[in-house]
Chains A and B, each alone.
Chain A
């Protein structure tokens, strides 16, 4: 019983991690309709930012979060301005093949720079967990979980309450109309991608504190982000929280009760079924191409 409970807790916390790095993916798809296959690379770059800051400068991961956000924000902005803006509005296949190319370049340049070594580091404060009876809640994951809620909330607030947010939402609904009323669509796209990348970088930073990181980690994160987005409804931000939690719990319960290998199969079968039966996500709030 306590095994199941612990698995449930682990799953919920894992779901927080998933939600955090999927929120940016959801935002980018929602606004531009771009399926960003290089998304996992943004996680990887965020993770390595925090790793190197800690190894070389002994910067506490929590302090490196804003740095990671700023770096990835700039990187995302440039990426969108230089490359991705050119395929927005083209057939969707163009965007995912282009971002696949970007994925290959980033991942392999990172491999050349940092080798394929698996890396971890010990964060002083994250070693212990909060114990409650026989149940344990790891601190770093708890922080991530809270961050996930904060980030999704903040993005939501940003989109609904600020001027820039309104421009983004207007562009998402109808970019031609947005351009007519004087919104600089390319700039809005760049801002959106930058925001999405920045948030994803923060997620990567948190992940580096409790998962092994390496330059080729990206693709698996992209895949999970896609699953989360599909479950929650593509482009629907609060759906990222729901999708993340659900996926985390299912995976964790499967691993504990059945077999770790099978949890991947179960995840993909769920994804497959959701795509066939509820392509707008479990809540039916997402959008279709």
Chain B
């Protein structure tokens, strides 16, 4: 076995055993870190590899949250059924929205996805008022059945994050991954060597969306109380973008490293110095763009691992 697999397995064993040794705050911190690693990894699949910058990813997180609410509370089904529905519905909506939207390029794609996410938030907010049919609970928010087991959520998020990481590793090792990278570099040329670019992009978008839906469902059940503003919050998207950018777009480990770093820093600074923290994040972003535009992983790789790849 090579070193990478050994470290990987050891890491997994450690993560699985973690709740046996720690409790309370440490588990909460670990759960949230793992969740952010997962969210950033979802964003990375399309936006990192194919460079279609999605500024509305949170919409699938929000859709997953409200689907979970409808399934668990209105239909009184179990969390697992809710998770399944969240994944399927988010993925399906992503297919429908992705097909036309992914024809747009650059900032136009970014802003279209952003617009869609904001529009969906408003629709969920206003639905009950406008139609008179009580479905989403409007701005008052809705509550979930209570589950106080912090281990339960730890393992749910661990499984989800492992899932999207595995999907990313598979992508990286398959023709699909090469196709996404080719799209990022020259979409017309990719189409010219036989890549069905439209389909490739939509696939990556829908896989990411399906996972985001499950993350939304799990987080909402954990928090037990959600509002449209909390689960469709644009700052969730922004965090995913910054974490991925910081760690390195289009790499397996980049988003994980960026998310862990940024989440832990924010946990230390956030509560006491929110504005200082946000300004600091801004400075980090400016620094990353100007001095290491390929992120932590990209810069390290360029410098130490495969120098012959540098032109």
- Are the CB atoms of A98 and B289 closer together than 8 Å? yes
Contact among A98, A103, A261 for B122, CB-based, below 8 A: A261
A108 to B276 alpha-carbon distance, docked (Å): 7
A258 to B27 alpha-carbon distance, docked (Å): 47
- Are the CB atoms of B111 and A97 closer together than 8 Å? no
Interface size class of A (residues with CB under 8 A): 35 or more
- Are the CB atoms of A111 and B118 closer together than 8 Å? no
B246 to chain A minimum Cβ distance, whole angstroms, is 10
Q: Report B268-289 residues with CB < 8 Å from chain A CB.
A: 275-276, 278-279, 281-286, 289
- Are the CB atoms of A96 and B278 closer together than 8 Å? no
A269 to B126 alpha-carbon distance, docked (Å): 15
B110 to chain A minimum Cβ distance, whole angstroms, is 7
Interface mask (A264-280 → B, CB under 8 Å = 1, otherwise 0): 11001101100110010
- Are the CB atoms of B129 and A102 closer together than 8 Å? no
Q: Does B194 count as interface, using CB distance less than 8 angstroms?
A: no
- Are the CB atoms of A268 and B116 closer together than 8 Å? yes
A77 to B278 alpha-carbon distance, docked (Å): 24
- Are the CB atoms of A102 and B282 closer together than 8 Å? yes
A108 to B269 alpha-carbon distance, docked (Å): 14
Of the stretches A84-92, A133-141, A142-150, A163-171, the one at the interface is A84-92
Closest B residue by C-beta to A92: B106
Q: How many pairs of residues, A versus B, come closer than 8 Å at their CB atoms?
A: 119
A208 to B112 alpha-carbon distance, docked (Å): 29
Interface size class of B (residues with CB under 8 A): 35 or more
Closest B residue by C-beta to A258: B130
Closest A residue by C-beta to B123: A265
Q: Does B81 count as interface, using CB distance less than 8 angstroms?
A: no
Q: Report A232-282 residues with CB < 8 Å from chain B CB.
A: 258-259, 261-262, 264-265, 268-269, 271-272, 275-276, 279
Q: Does B206 count as interface, using CB distance less than 8 angstroms?
A: no
A90 to B294 alpha-carbon distance, docked (Å): 13
Contact among B118, B275, B285 for A97, CB-based, below 8 A: B285
A181 to chain B minimum Cβ distance, whole angstroms, is 28
Return 6 A-B CB contacts under 8 Å, by A number: A101-B282, A104-B281, A108-B275, A230-B111, A262-B126, A271-B115
A: which residues have CB within 8 A of B?
Answer: 35, 83, 86-87, 90-94, 96-98, 100-109, 111-112, 223, 226-227, 230, 258-259, 261-262, 264-265, 268-269, 271-272, 275-276, 279, 288-289
B: which residues have CB within 8 A of A?
Answer: 51, 53, 100-101, 103-108, 110-112, 114-116, 118-119, 122-123, 125-126, 129-130, 238, 241, 245, 275-276, 278-279, 281-286, 289-290, 293
